[in-house]
Structure 1
């Protein structure tokens, strides 16, 4: 079933009850993502709930899957979509954002730019563009105006 169909089809009472029974799963994933990305978990609950609802609509118990095995990827997917779409205030291409996500582990290890580019198998210039575009977190406007 396509993603668009899931969005248009309203939830039944049973699907709503199923989603409500698994709210803890959405909270758990939102907290995990919040810790990983240094965000407030409250900001991630909406997308986590959306993924949970989409999962509740698409879940088919007759297939023999445990609910958590089906719902966790749905919630994680929705959280990833949310972070990729809203994580940067500037419009940065998906390819650069993906490269930055892959590079974060190497940056944390303290590798040089040349070593990171080699690890990621990209030209040094591309890595430097990515680092410049993605490494700076935007400042709130009121902080900038105060200075």
Structure 2
């Protein structure tokens, strides 16, 4: 009811109601902020970001939807916290020019995908951004270093003690029953030599991405991108 009154009017009474809501839900904001405390940001900053989410929730809550206030509040607070990390942190240091062009890259990819129903190729991205191919590859690789998540960060519902690392998949013992070995061999044989070598080193040679990068003379991020692209290609061929 307090949230309802705060939503419906202004004035001194509503100010008192807003103050009461802030008092009631500040402990919840502190709890949510603490869940992100191991990601390199000061706790005071995280608390202030969470409080911004609380104020937005008080202002935007619409009781006519029939949901309790806290159900609206939690996504607002966690959303502000995640937005803070998305907008202010990079996993590794990258050139300033790449940081500044990341949003432009995302916009080009989103607009192309919406228009064509597929993600653009690297060459199409380069053309849209008026870059040469190597510069586009460097920008894409650098952007992939943005806001890496700690495996120890909380994951799931507010009262869930799970960490993000707990969600990582394990070896699928039934995979051999799904993938036809002969089809996989044929698909591997059709790959370009460099991509086939990277796949073989990773999954048959048990090499790390860093070891593969040193072996083939590429950056670790480039190897990561090649692996992702090649695995998508193999999957499409095997499922077609």
Between structures 1 and 2, the one with greater helix share: 1
Would you say 1:15 and 2:111 are equivalent positions? no
The 5 A counterparts of 1:80-95 are 80-88=82-90, 91=96, 92=99, 93=102
1:125 maps to: 222
Higher RCO, Cα 8 Å, sep 6+: 1
Deviation at 1:97, TM superposition (A): 5.3
1:118-146 alpha-carbon deviations (Å, 9 max, x no partner): xxxxx951747xxxxxxxxxxxxxxxxxx
2:48 maps to: 46
Where does structure 1 differ by over 6 angstroms across 4 or more consecutive aligned residues?
none
The 5 A counterparts of 1:29-68 are 29-35=32-38, 37-68=39-70
Q: Secondary structure of the residue that 1:65 maps to in structure 2?
A: coil
Is residue 34–residue 43 contact of structure 2 (8 Å, CA) maintained in 1?
yes
Matched residue count: 107
Max Rg structure:
2
1:89-131 alpha-carbon deviations (Å, 9 max, x no partner): 76533662576536x55xx89x9328xxxxxxxx951747xxx
Q: Secondary structure of the residue that 2:36 maps to in structure 1?
A: helix
TM-score, length of structure 1 as denominator length: 0.55
Structure 2 segments unaligned to the other structure (5+ residues):
1-9, 107-142, 152-164, 169-206, 211-219, 226-240
Q: Secondary structure of the residue that 2:35 maps to in structure 1?
A: helix
Change (3 A) 1:85 1:126: farther
- Over aligned residue pairs, what C-alpha RMSD do you find? 3.7
